[in-house]
């Protein structure tokens, strides 16, 4: 597992734990632009693609 922290208008941060395999599949790197979908029991991480 790995922790992913998402900055949301200083000083707020969303932190979630996701599998390292998921980080690799999304090709997530520090400072990537991402979005978070928040449900009452989970947080879903998505990555914005530069197309």
Question: pLDDT (tens digit, 9 = 90+) per residue, 21-33?
Answer: 988 998 989 888 8
pTM greater than the 0.85 cutoff = no
The predicted pLDDT at position 51 comes to 75
Q: What backbone torsions phi and psi does residue 35 show, to the nearest 5 degrees?
A: -125, 160
Q: Are 4 and 31 in contact (CB under 8 A)?
A: no
Q: Comparing C-alpha atoms, which of 48, 38, 2, 36 is closest to residue 22?
A: 2
For residue 11, whether the previous peptide bond is cis, meaning omega lies within 30 degrees of 0, is yes
The predicted pLDDT at position 12 comes to 77
pLDDT values of the chain reduced to their tens digit, one per residue, 51 residues: 888 887 777 777 878 888 999 889 989 898 888 888 877 787 788 888 887
> Residue ranges per domain, the chain?
2-47
The predicted pLDDT at position 24 comes to 92
Cα 12–8–37 angle (5° rounding)?
A: 115
């Amino acid at each position: 597992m790995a922790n992913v922290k998402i900055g949301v208008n200083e000083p707020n941060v969303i932190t979630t734990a996701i599998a390292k395999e998921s980080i690799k599949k999304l090709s997530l790197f520090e400072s990537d632009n991402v979005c978070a979908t928040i449900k009452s029991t989970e947080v879903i991480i998505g990555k914005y693609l530069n197309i």
